[in-house]
Amino acid sequence: MTAKLTTVRAGALTTVQDSGRRGHAHLGVPRSGALDATAMRLANRLLGNDPDAAVLETTLTGCALRPDHPVTAVVGGAHCPVTVDGRPVAWGAPVRVPAGAVLNVGTATAGVRSYVAVAGGITTEPVLGSRSTDLLSGLGPGPLRAGHVVRVGTPARPVAPAVAVPWPGPPGELVLPVRLGPRADWFTPSALRTLTSVTYRVSPHSNRIGLRTEGPPLERATTGELPSEGIVLGAVQVPPDGRPVIFLHDHPTTGGYPVVAVVAEPALAAAAQATAGTPVRFTPG
């Protein structure tokens, strides 16, 4: 019999995420999915799940869950204290959670987003091929609330004995390789030099839609209005205040502010774990 997880404490923001919805941007649907896909896949592999099986993504303050049947779980991503019925257990390794016990994922001590994977994966109803919560469009299951229940699938194979694995740490400095364009010509040469030479910082107003930055504004060479055009994951859009915003997985699929550059996708996992105030450097790449 498969297990159900009841949400005892939802935390600041806990959502269901997998590898996301690909191929639907023409319908106005962004990819969504785990912001730190590396952490999601590592947690799943430790449990014998498909690497892209759905997990729970928490934000800063973690969450607490009570299974109605015994489950095996891994908490990874942002480092945090983990307990089962108040007893400390391993972070980043498989942990057995008895039926009725409370798995508590504490406040992140390094990084932003922790991932709770369970043997068998989270099995909410797929929408457009994904179980992911999309905060912008509202597709997929809503963010967890106290009392919400999510189901767990049947484990595909026994969980291997716990082994020590290297987990990436949060960035002390976020280095984002970018390619200029498609609207780099809307900015002055001085602004383009500023983008790739000045250190910005992560704004506390960042979220799953975009990582906002604090720093010197980029001066526009063109002051006209730009008709809305397509936006891709990693696009660096510059709103009227001139400070770059890096679009993450719940980004809009169109936008009317110029995109000065695009961040290489592999660098976005580190962006998911960058805390407010983390230095940000854009480098030609």
Take residue 210 and report the two structure tokens written for it: 């975009």
- Number of folded domains that form the chain: 2
| Residue-wise pLDDT tens digits, 98-115 | 999 999 999 999 999 999
Indicate if 238 and 280 belong to the same structural domain: yes
Indicate if 147 and 185 belong to the same structural domain: no
In a domain, 158, yes or no: no
The predicted structure's pLDDT at residue 48 = 92
Give dist(CA 99, CA 91) in Å, integer: 20
Lowest mean pLDDT among 21-35, 78-92, 235-249: 21-35
Indicate if 64 and 142 belong to the same structural domain: yes
Indicate if 146 and 202 belong to the same structural domain: no
* Mean pLDDT (whole number) for 216-235: 93
Indicate if 16 and 134 belong to the same structural domain: yes
Give dist(CA 120, CA 95) in Å, integer: 14
What mean pLDDT value characterizes the chain? Answer: 95
Residue 2, pLDDT above cutoff 90: no
Indicate if 26 and 126 belong to the same structural domain: yes
Residue 160, pLDDT above cutoff 80: no
Residue 224 belongs to domain with CATH number: 2.40.100.10
Higher pLDDT, 111 or 222: 111
Residue 1, pLDDT above cutoff 90: no
The predicted structure's pLDDT at residue 156 = 79
Choose the final residue of a domain: 116, 151, 186.
151
* Mean pLDDT (whole number) for 141-165: 87
The predicted structure's pLDDT at residue 131 = 97
Q: Using pLDDT thresholds of 50, 70 and 90, give the confidence band for residue 128.
A: very high
Containing H/E element for 218? none
In a domain, 123, yes or no: yes
Which residue's structure tokens are 């940000």? 280
The predicted structure's pLDDT at residue 277 = 98
Higher pLDDT, 20 or 163: 20
Choose the final residue of a domain: 151, 184, 214.
151
* Mean pLDDT (whole number) for 113-141: 96
Indicate if 143 and 179 belong to the same structural domain: no
Number of Cβ atoms within 10 Å of the Cβ of 149: 12
In a domain, 163, yes or no: no
Percent of the chain with pLDDT over 90: 90
Q: What is the pTM of this model?
A: 0.95
Spatial neighbors of 33 by CB under 8 A, at least 6 apart, are 17, 18, 19, 20, 21, 130, 132, 249
- CA terminus-to-terminus distance, the chain: 50
Range of the structural domain that residue 220 is part of: 174-284
Enumerate the β-bridge partners of residue 200: 280
Q: Are 43 and 93 in contact (CB under 8 A)?
A: no
Q: Are 84 and 70 in contact (CB under 8 A)?
A: no
| Residue-wise pLDDT tens digits, 229-243 | 999 999 999 999 999
Higher pLDDT, 136 or 210: 210
Residue 172, pLDDT above cutoff 90: yes
The predicted structure's pLDDT at residue 99 = 98
Choose the final residue of a domain: 118, 151, 184.
151
In a domain, 241, yes or no: yes
